[in-house]
Amino acid sequence: MRKQELEILLENAYHTYAKEDFIELDPIQIPRRFSKKEDIEIAGFLAATIAWGQRPTIVKNAWRMMELMDFEPHDFITNHQASDLKRFDGFVHRTFNASDLQFFIHRLQSLYRKERGLEVAFSQGESALERISSFHQLFFNQEHLPRTRKHVSNPLKGSSAKRINMYLRWMVRPNKEGIDFGIWKSISPADLMMPLDVHTGNVGRHLRLLSRKQDDWKSVEELTKSLRKFDPKDPVRFDLALFGMGVNKTL
């Protein structure tokens, strides 16, 4: 397929799937409930953290987390006492359990009370790899169970960091289609990286935008580089196109 044909295909798919009804089945509906910046970014971070498996189950369990925080995530995060964490006993989403969630809530409290919140925490570094790996180091600089580390990806270890890249897309990309939020101004959409999963990876390979077989960070870099040829200012908008084509099997 020639570049011009491929560009037309990507643009058509983008305009087909980048619509507000995308939200109805996606975990992004969780932060979409809120209007305050801090509620949006906290709800988004927790929803993205458990975003693997069947989407209905992800959404159900993400709503459960919001319910346990009285649908006021920022207020709960900043003002909860240690005894309040007992309400999360029994929570589980696949391998993410109550002890993991309790640490996340405890650590988020420190980020908002002492380190100016999630946007600042994710803004340390020049590249996406540096920002995500710096966040990983910061997030786990307090005592924690070793098992909990696997729930925040580290691209320095080769991970594709799909859920974090998706979360950053939510926070950074402009709200043109009524899907993403565009509430973080310290990171440019041009610097975002593709959320690589089975759908975006398979479609990317089918369209010869990606040659690597592994879904790792090097593949994220290759796929994002390919998409920058079509939109250097906002390459990750094509996440919606590739994901939509993959889920709906339109190729």
Q: Is residue 1 over pLDDT 80?
A: no
| First CA to last CA distance, the chain | 13
Q: What is the pLDDT of residues 7-51, one digit of tens each?
A: 999 999 999 999 888 888 899 999 999 999 999 999 999 999 999
In the chain, the percentage of residues whose pLDDT exceeds 90 is 92
198: helix, strand or coil: helix
| Residue 219 and residue 196 in contact, taking contact as beta carbons nearer than 8 Å | yes
Q: What is the pLDDT of residues 129-169, one digit of tens each?
A: 999 999 999 999 999 999 999 999 999 999 999 999 999 99
**Domain boundaries, given as residue ranges, for the chain:** 3-248
* pTM of structure: 0.96
